Amino acid sequence: MSHAQVPEPRQTLDPEQVAQWLARHPDFFVGREGLLQQFYVPHPRAPGVVSLLERLVHDLRNRAEGAELRLEQLLDSARHTEVQYRRTRELVLALMEAQDLDALGQALATQLAERFQIPAVALWTPRGTSPKGAQPTQPPRHHLDEDIQHRLVELLNGRASRCVRLSPKDWRCLIPHMAPPTTTGSAALTRLALGEPQGYLILASPDPDHFRASLDTLFTEYLGDILARLLHGFTTRTRG
């Protein structure tokens, strides 16, 4: 009794193995360019198929457009960085030219308003930073007292700098030379210190989202470091 011959199972190539083989043999299509013209692949954006060459052209065009977009973003970032550098440079030079503490505070407020669109600034310094017999401080500089210092310590909550929401009540206490907003504002706070406490810097806005809690405080800390050194210099000359 004869037995029918069982056909061998049809073997299929694994797509991943094909891809790996072609990657190891990039010269496979050299001399076989006609194969490329016979390949058809799904159109990336519409029903139907297109030739492999058309698909490659489409993909290359997309890659070129993506690279152009990334380059434009990098250029925009570079231009923004340059503008910020120039603004910061002018700010620092103006602060260095101040002849006394009140002039320092006024230069700070003017530069921040004009170059960084920060409408409200307060610089709180200990009473010992002013020479004996000096006139009352001029805004945005104010003398620290226990209540103000206690509230600033509370708002900083153990940090050197922080962005917080500022209630109208806090605004009246911490930025007394400017009318408070009708609703909650926002502020960036930083403690000024160089060996010993030099005071506090407050940058504020009536916009509650201007200084968001998630905002980086690097610029505020940098500005605070500069002010702490300038304040230290003024205090040293006063005591001398």
Q: Which pLDDT score is estimated for 49?
A: 60
- Distance in angstroms (rounded) separating the CA atoms of residues 54 and 32: 18
Amino acid at 109: A
And the tokens for 55? 């698909």
Q: Which pLDDT score is estimated for 240?
A: 55
Q: Which pLDDT score is estimated for 36?
A: 66
Domain residue ranges of the chain, discontinuous segments joined by +: 33-97, 100-239
- Distance in angstroms (rounded) separating the CA atoms of residues 151 and 153: 5
Answer whether 101's CB lies under 8 Å from 127's CB: no
Q: Could you say which DSSP state residue 128 is in?
A: G
- Distance in angstroms (rounded) separating the CA atoms of residues 185 and 210: 8
pLDDT per residue as tens, the chain (240 positions) = 455 555 555 567 788 887 788 788 878 767 776 776 666 666 666 666 666 667 677 778 888 988 999 999 999 999 988 999 999 999 999 999 999 999 999 999 999 999 999 999 999 998 865 555 556 789 999 999 999 999 999 999 999 999 999 999 999 999 999 999 999 999 999 999 987 888 999 999 999 999 998 888 999 999 999 999 999 888 777 655
| Domain boundaries 100-239, corresponding CATH code | 3.30.450.40
Q: Which pLDDT score is estimated for 207?
A: 96
- Residue 162, beta-bridge partner list: 189
Long-range contacts of 57-66 (CB under 8 A, 24+ apart): none
Q: What are phi and psi of 188, to 5 degrees?
A: -110, 125
- Distance in angstroms (rounded) separating the CA atoms of residues 65 and 228: 48
And the tokens for 234? 């003024």
And the tokens for 69? 């977009």
